């Protein structure tokens, strides 16, 4: 790692942060020490960084806003890459080009200011554009797959190519990138529709009020834990078998919304991990349905 970091510095790839707790970088506010987090200055520097990672045979992961990840409590002995510098947001008519590191919520707000509709569903999702595309983030019966026109990616052999919406293979909380984990989202072109600004802002206001009333936003969480099975609601299933309020250590099944697990009081990553699996097992035993976990478990092997 020392030789690798020396080369990263020599090539002026970007900011380097060493030995930091991942609780500072995830919305669950948990996670062990990360050996190093690197912020490449641009796409070219990212390619250089990936070449060095391959040369030194290091494990790595792209870390967005940490809103859908559950890192373990142990040390992550690899390279975490933050694409915060790739944060371009450029509107061209009814289209917007967004860098992978741009804030999804910010893009949604900027679209509303320009009377562009189509991104209202994203106003309450605290993730990066890259993470949103990877997960095909969505809400209110819409998702990224409806609005993304194309995605520019770095391939596993370090070529920069552009994939069409069809090639991205968007499905419910799924995309091409989840099946090709060595591809890195760099930027996307989103196509929106001209709308009425007052109507868009009215929708945003109503949905914000609904979120505040129905979701435990006052506690660290990663949003919905489980995907909704077809025709059913995971939260209702969990609530109906009496698991609302269930705690393990500092983690709790939210009393406000049963499909949220919250870090109520200094939870460890293991508290949250074990509670998620307990709820999944309980639902399977009762309904004979295995709920799919939306969050990605990292560094648990």
Active site residues: 173, 224, 294
Residue 89, helix vs strand vs coil: strand
CA–CA gap between residue 272 and residue 26 (Å, rounded): 13
Residue 208 CB contacts under 8 Å (≥ 6 apart), including other chains: 123, 124
List, as own/partner pairs, every contact residues 153-160 make where C-beta atoms lie below 8 angstroms and the sequence separation is at least 24, other chains included: 153/177, 153/183, 153/184, 153/185, 153/186, 154/43, 154/46, 154/47, 154/50, 154/183, 154/184, 154/186, 155/182, 155/183, 156/180, 156/182, 156/183, 158/47, 158/50, 158/51, 160/43, 160/47, 160/186
Question: Exposed, middle or buried, 244 (CB in 10 Å: 0-12/13-18/19+)?
Answer: middle
Pairing state of beta strands 69-71 and 296-298?
parallel
Bridge partners (DSSP) of residue 78 are none
How large is the angle between the packed helices 197-214 and 104-113, nearest 10 degrees? 140
Question: Exposed, middle or buried, 66 (CB in 10 Å: 0-12/13-18/19+)?
Answer: buried
Q: What is the CA radius of gyration of the chain?
A: 20
CA–CA gap between residue 176 and residue 154 (Å, rounded): 13
Backbone angles phi, psi at 297, to 5 degrees: -85, 125
Of 295, 177, 126, the C-alpha closest to 227 is 295
């Amino acid at each position: 790692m020392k030789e690798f970091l020396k080369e990263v510095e020599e090539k002026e790839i970007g900011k380097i942060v060493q030995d930091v707790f991942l609780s500072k970088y995830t919305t669950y506010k948990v996670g062990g020490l990360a050996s190093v987090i690197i912020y490449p200055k641009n796409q070219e520097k990212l390619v250089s960084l990936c070449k060095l990672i391959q040369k030194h045979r290091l494990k790595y992961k792209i870390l967005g806003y940490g809103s859908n990840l559950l890192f373990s409590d142990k040390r992550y002995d690899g390279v975490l890459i933050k694409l915060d510098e790739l944060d371009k947001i450029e509107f061209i008519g009814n289209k917007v080009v967004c860098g992978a590191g741009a804030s999804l919520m910010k893009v949604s707000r900027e679209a509303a200011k320009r009377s562009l509709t189509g991104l209202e569903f994203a106003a309450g999702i605290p993730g990066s554009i890259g993470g949103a595309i990877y997960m095909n983030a969505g809400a209110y019966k819409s998702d990224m797959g409806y609005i993304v026109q194309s995605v520019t990616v770095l391939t596993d052999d370090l070529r920069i190519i552009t994939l069409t919406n069809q090639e991205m293979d968007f499905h419910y909380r799924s995309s091409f990138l989840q099946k090709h984990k060595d591809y890195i989202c760099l930027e996307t072109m989103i196509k929106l529709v001209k709308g009425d600004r007052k109507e868009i802002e009215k929708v945003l206001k109503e949905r914000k009020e609904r979120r505040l009333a129905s979701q435990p936003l006052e506690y660290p969480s990663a949003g919905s834990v489980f995907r909704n099975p077809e025709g059913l609601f995971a939260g209702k299933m969990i609530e109906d078998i009496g698991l609302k309020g269930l705690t393990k250590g500092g983690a709790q099944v939210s009393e406000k919304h049963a499909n949220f697990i919250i870090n109520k009081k200094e939870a460890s990553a293991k508290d949250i991990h074990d509670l998620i699996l307990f709820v999944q097992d309980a639902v399977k035993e009762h309904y004979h349905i295995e709920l799919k976990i939306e969050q990605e478990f990292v560094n648990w092997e």
